[in-house]
Amino acid sequence: MFRRAAPLLALALLACGSTGAEPFAYPIAAVGVGADAFPVGDWQVTLTRADLALGPIYLCATAAASPDLCAVAVGEFADVAVLDALAPAAVELGEVAALPGDVRSAMLDYGISWFTTQTEATPDRALGNSARLAGTAVRGDTTVTFDARVDVLPPLRGSPALVGVRARVDEPGPDSRLLLRVDPRAWLLGVDFDALAAAGPSAAIRPGDAAHAAIAFAMTTQPPTFSWSAP
Amino acid sequence: MTSTRLVPLFALLLACSARGSGTVQVFVEAEDTIPDGLDPGDGDESIVDGWTVRYDKFLVTIGDFHARSSSDDSLDLRDEAVHVVDLKRLPAGGLVLAEFSADAVRYDRVGYSLPNASADADAAEGTAAADRELLVANGWSIYIEGELTAPDGVSCVPGDPDDCAPAPVVRFAWGLQAGTAFADCAGPDGVAGFAIPSGGTVQVKPTVHGDHWFFTNLTQGAEITERRAQWIADADLDRDGETTLAELRQVPAAKLFAAELGYNLSGALIPIVTAYDYLEAQARTLGDFQGEGECPTRDIL
């Protein structure tokens, strides 16, 4: 878990060592959106399953997040948590290991990381994919069931899958709590359910499929939102 | 006795506070891609998929320049004026956005805006009144006209590279409400802001870039990216030789900006669902500093 995260924080700890900055931790939680049906074009879509592998997450002191600039990480959630993105109540994921300082952006993986020590991107074992989204799409008397196993891959070795994610808070402290809001519905808005229906009443969506590309793209461009509060 | 002791102390205080003063001139600068366009090729600023790009018009709304010193809150320079600027017709001597006489220190917190145009915006020197009216009437922060050309260019159905038609010329004329504030500007060397020399003048240049909607990612530091223009040709859904904003709004972004082509669009200020969203997201990154320096903190206006 700490294959890449540890060096990042270690660098920051070294950098801050002479200033007396003390590391601390605060909780991180995630909340989903519930299982209500939602429209995608003419289709009414209902998710029955939305498992998401989330992490590692790095909190950066610079708005211009990049693997290089985030060597000054001010926080990290080094684990991969698998969460139910349909759960409407917040679920605790663990703790952010933090250093004093403002957060200006974030980088993250969806459970598939490509550390500098690896020859290829590797999924965490807990889910085996970045996300598993299953449900039904209904239009009139036509129903399509779908089961998508989605992989969001880091573009380069040593780079998280998502960089420059909007995340901003001044000086979070030990009493802070980071809440991630995840909306898997938004990730299905680009799926062509007409095409899925034309192929049959059920669809197994896998890497290489157009629907997979649409979901993976949306997961990249519509990441979880970050907010901090006191517990 | 007392007075003789006070004199050296007074002199010391004077020495500590006497930092002199100087002048800062703030110029608007257009990246070379705006007057010169972009050419196909493998160079650092070339279009890798064969298209040549030329702009006929490139208008922006720019202003609200501000600078302060993080070491002294009283040192706060600000000019809230907003101008519509034709970046293809900048005056030969440069367009001065603002000028300040101020304490000679480093101003390390620098920013400016590319806001949506309102009636308060004036037409900068070299900018036609009609162009100013165009942006103000529509509330646009930017308006561009131009064309892509490629002798063997094609327009393909988005997501279907096998269904293509010849398209040697593709025109575009796009106005956007993409008002954005840019802050924490730093020069190409990464040094934040600028320093005013005592008794001298420093020139600083908020720089508008003209190529970000060809990038394969959302740059937030060094512009390490490829430039691709095929998406504009493919979004010409009716294949009439012009790609409209209405067409961009119809095209799912995932069909144009595929990971297989090197696209990774994480980090956008707005959700990217359609090709129009991609264009707007990139338009919200155009504000740079001192040429290739960056203003990484961006907020929607």
Q: Are A216 and A151 in contact (CB under 8 A)?
A: yes
pLDDT value at residue B18: 58
Q: Where does B94-235 have alpha helices with state H?
A: 129-138, 230-234
Nearest chain B residue (CA) to A164: B267
Nearest in space to B207 (alpha carbons), one of B78, B270, B114, B91: B114
For tokens 């600028």, what's the residue?
B194
Domain boundaries, chain A: 5-229
Contacts of B252 in chain A (CB under 8 A): 190, 192, 214
Residues in A lying within 8 Å of B, measured between beta carbons:
62-66, 68-69, 104-105, 153, 155, 161-166, 186, 189-190, 192, 210, 213-214, 216-218, 220-223
- Nearest-CA distance A220 → chain B (Å): 5
pLDDT value at residue B218: 87
Q: Do A221 and B268 touch (CB under 8 A)?
A: yes
pLDDT value at residue B52: 98
Contacts of A166 in chain B (CB under 8 A): 267, 269
The CA distance from B216 to B159, in Å, is 16
Contacts of A220 in chain B (CB under 8 A): 264-266
pLDDT value at residue B8: 46
When pLDDT is cut at 50, 70 and 90, the band that residue B197 belongs to is very high
Provide the strand spans (E) within chain A: 24-31, 38-40, 43-54, 57-60, 73-77, 81-84, 91-98, 103-108, 112-113, 122-123, 131-139, 142-150, 162-169, 177-181, 202-205, 225-229
B35-64 average pLDDT score: 96
Mean pLDDT lowest for which of A2-6, A71-75, A144-148, B90-94?
A2-6
- Nearest-CA distance A224 → chain B (Å): 11
Contacts of A214 in chain B (CB under 8 A): 252, 254-255
Q: Do B266 and A213 touch (CB under 8 A)?
A: no
Nearest in space to A202 (alpha carbons), one of A149, A152, A147: A147
pLDDT value at residue A184: 97
pLDDT tens-place string over residues A183-211: 999 999 999 999 999 999 999 999 999 99
ipTM above 0.95, yes or no: no
Q: Do A189 and B273 touch (CB under 8 A)?
A: yes
Contacts of A216 in chain B (CB under 8 A): 254, 259
Mean pLDDT lowest for which of A75-84, B1-10, B199-208?
B1-10
